[in-house]
Amino acid sequence: MLNLDQIKPGATVKVRKVSADGNLQRRILALGIIPGSTLEVIKVAPLGDPIEVKLRSSNLMIRKEEAQNISVEEIVN
């Protein structure tokens, strides 16, 4: 099982589990990153962190440290 911070740009993944704590957990879930949702990793910021992901029709940024809490599986096209 991989975490979101390990995914290379261009890949599409399915969220398996979100296991952060408190505020972070609630924020991630509220934005719609929930088990079963599909994310596309768009890019890594120029300085290497944070990363940008596409969820439905919106683009979100998330720090790698926080993305560690999101376990995902790659969807093979």
> In the bound complex, what is the minimum distance in angstroms from residue 74's beta carbon to other proteins?
20
Q: Does 75 bind other proteins (CB under 8 A)?
A: no
* Binding residue for other proteins, selected from 1, 10, 57, 77, defined by CB under 8 A: 57
| Complete DSSP assignment for 27-65 | HHHHTT--TT-EEEEEEE-TTS--EEEEETTEEEEE-HH
Q: Does 8 bind other proteins (CB under 8 A)?
A: no
Q: Which of 76, 48, 75 is nearest to 64 (CA)?
A: 48
Q: Does 1 bind other proteins (CB under 8 A)?
A: no
Q: Which of 63, 54, 71 is nearest to 14 (CA)?
A: 71
Residues lying near other proteins in the complex (CB under 8 A): 17-19, 21-37, 42-50, 52, 55-63, 66
